[in-house]
Amino acid sequence: MAVNTETDVTAVLLAEEKQITARSPLQLFWRRLRKDKVAIVALGFIVLLILVAILAPVIVALGNAADPQETNSSALSAFGAATGPSGEYFFGVDNLGRDVFSRVVYGARVSLEVALISTGIAVFIGTLVGLLAGYYRGWVDTVLSRLTDVVLAFPILLLGLGLAAACSGVDGCAGGLIEPGLPVVITVIAIINWTYIARIVRGQVLSLREKEFVEAARSVGASDRQIIVREILPNLVAPLIVYSSLLIPANILLEAALSFLGVGVGAGTPSWGGMISDAQTLFPEAWWFMLFPGLALLITVLAFNLVGDGLQDALDPRRN
């Protein structure tokens, strides 16, 4: 789902240019963010979620819940039907008798890990490509931009599915380097995402390199590398943070979608999307199996979206 946010960032840079006060744009950014109560609450929730993910075994033990991988045939009916929420199983069990509560808690690990790592990789690659293309221009720019165009031409989900499916054989891809399961998902998501970052960074760098401070640095004899690292990169940090914060929730949903469609993380590993997928056949009888992972996804993505919104507002208050 494409969102045309390029206009926002240009506005940001225009605003920065007009700043005359002594405070740096980043300090102002931080100050504005702190005033946005909704974003702070959402950020707090995200921190909480990260803690839940790290401390999953502790939480499961506290709630006296079963291990997420433990199948328990006695939790099922004689016919193999799953039982619903009860005193023993807060969120009910799935079709193998596994505790849905434990799986939802552990599912946070997969969602966060995949989203954060793949976004990190995408941002890294995208920034690199965008920097090179925007700064050096010429044929470097042409080649890299065409490459970006090619990747952007593909239907995202289908491409992700196809790649994941092609690499899901027992031997994986690239001669066994990319094993099916978590590594495939992270790779696929990173491959899809770097293009957005690359486009945006390129646009940023294109305008940044014409600025007075860059010219000034060049006239003093600074090398390309020094200019990039000292003048350009710092100005990219704020928009990069904003765009990462937009990408992370999208990637959480993307991982969930891939798991939902059956090409996500491996069989037993709890993943919110995978759980919703399993719930499809048991539904509508076993509604708990579908409800709780879905709510977890909703709340998590919402929190990230709120933070992202707050960050965007902090970066450019003119938006509202």
Partner 1 sequence: MAGFIVRRLLGGLLLLVVVSAVTFVIFTVFPSTDPALLRAGRQPTQEIIAQIRIDLGLDKPYLTQFVDYVTGVFTQFDLGRSYVSGRRPVADEIFDNLPATLWLTAGAVVLWLTVGLSIGILAAVRHRSIFDRLSIGLSLIAVSAPVYWLGLVSLYLFAPEGGALGVEFLGGQGAYQIGQPIGERIQALVLPWCVLAASFAAIYSRLMRGSLLEVMGEDYIRTARAKGVSEGRVILRHGVRSAVTPVVTVLGLDIGILLGGAILTETVFNVPGVGRLAFDAISRGDLPIIQGTVLVGAFFIVILNLLVDVLYAYLDPRVRH
Partner 2 sequence: MSRSMWRTMLALVAVFAALFVAACGSEDSGSDSDSGTPAQTQEEGGGSATEELFAGSATDNLENPEDGVKGGKITILSGGDVDFMDPGKTYYTYAIGIMSALHRGLYAYEPGSLEPTPDLAAGPPEISEDGKTVTIKLREGVMYSDPVKRAVTSADVKYAIERAFTANVANGYAPIYFGDLVGAPEEPGPYKPIEGLETPDDQTLVMKLTEGTGAAAAGALALPISIPIPQEYAEKYDKESPSTYGEGFAVYTGPYMVESDAQGKAVGYVPGKSIHIIRNPNYEDVDDFRPAFIDEYDIQAGNEDAAVATRRVLGGESLMLGELEPPASQLERLLEEEKPQLSAVPGGGWRMISLDTSRPPFDDIDVRKAVIAGFDRNAVRQQRGGEALGAIAQHMIPPGLPGFEESGGFEGFAPEEFDWLQNPAGDPDLSAEYFKAAGFASGKYEGGEELLIVGDAAAPDGPIAEITEQQLQEMGFKTKLRLVTRDTMFTKFCNVPDSEVHVCPSVGWAQDFADPQTMIDPTFNGANIPETSNSNWPELDDPAANEAIEAAKLETEPGPRAQAWADANEAVVAQAPGITYMWDYQSLAASPNVRGVQNGYSTTWDLNFTSLRP
Residues in contact with partner 1 by the rule CB under 8 A: 1-4, 7, 146, 149-150, 152-159, 161-163, 165-167, 169-171, 173, 249, 253, 256-257, 260-263, 273, 276, 279-280, 283-284, 287, 290-291, 294, 297-299, 301-302, 305-306, 309, 319
Binding of residue 125 to partner 2 (CB under 8 A): no
C-alpha to C-alpha distance for 10 and 307, rounded to whole angstroms:
21
- Does 6 interact with partner 2 (rule: CB under 8 A)? no
CA 135 to chain centre: 27
Assess whether the previous peptide bond of 270 is cis (omega < 30° from 0). no
The single residue among 71, 159, 261, 305 that binds partner 2, judged by CB under 8 A, is 71
Q: In terms of CB distance, is 158 or 220 closer to partner 1? A: 158
In this structure, the number of other CB atoms found within 10 A of the CB of residue 86 comes to 11
Dihedral (Cα; 302, 306, 307, 312), 10-degree rounding: 140
The 3-state DSSP class for residue 191 equals helix
> Cβ(272)–Cβ(296) under 8 Å?
yes
Residue 87 DSSP class: S
Residue 282 touches which of partner 2, partner 1, none (CB < 5 to 8 A by kind)? partner 2
User: Are the CB atoms for 187 and 164 separated by under 8 Å?
Assistant: no
Q: How distant, in Å, are the alpha carbons of 41, 73, 274, 278 from that of 165?
A: 39, 31, 15, 18
CB of 268 vs partner 2, minimal distance in Å: 6
Q: Does the footprint of partner 2 cover residue 123 (CB under 8 A)?
A: no
Query: Half-sphere exposure of residue 148, counting CA atoms within 13 Å on the CB side?
Result: 26
Binds partner 2 (CB under 8 A): choice among 6, 280, 302, 319: 280
Residue 260 binds what, of partner 2, partner 1, none (CB under 5 to 8 Å, by partner type)? partner 1
Binds partner 2 (CB under 8 A): choice among 12, 42, 56, 188: 56
Decide which of partner 2, partner 1, none touches 267; Cβ closer than 5 to 8 Å per partner kind.
partner 2
Residue ranges that bind partner 2, judged by CB under 8 A: 24, 26-27, 30, 50, 53-54, 56, 67-74, 76-82, 95-97, 106, 109-110, 112-113, 116-117, 120, 168-170, 180-182, 234, 237, 262, 266-269, 280-282, 285-286
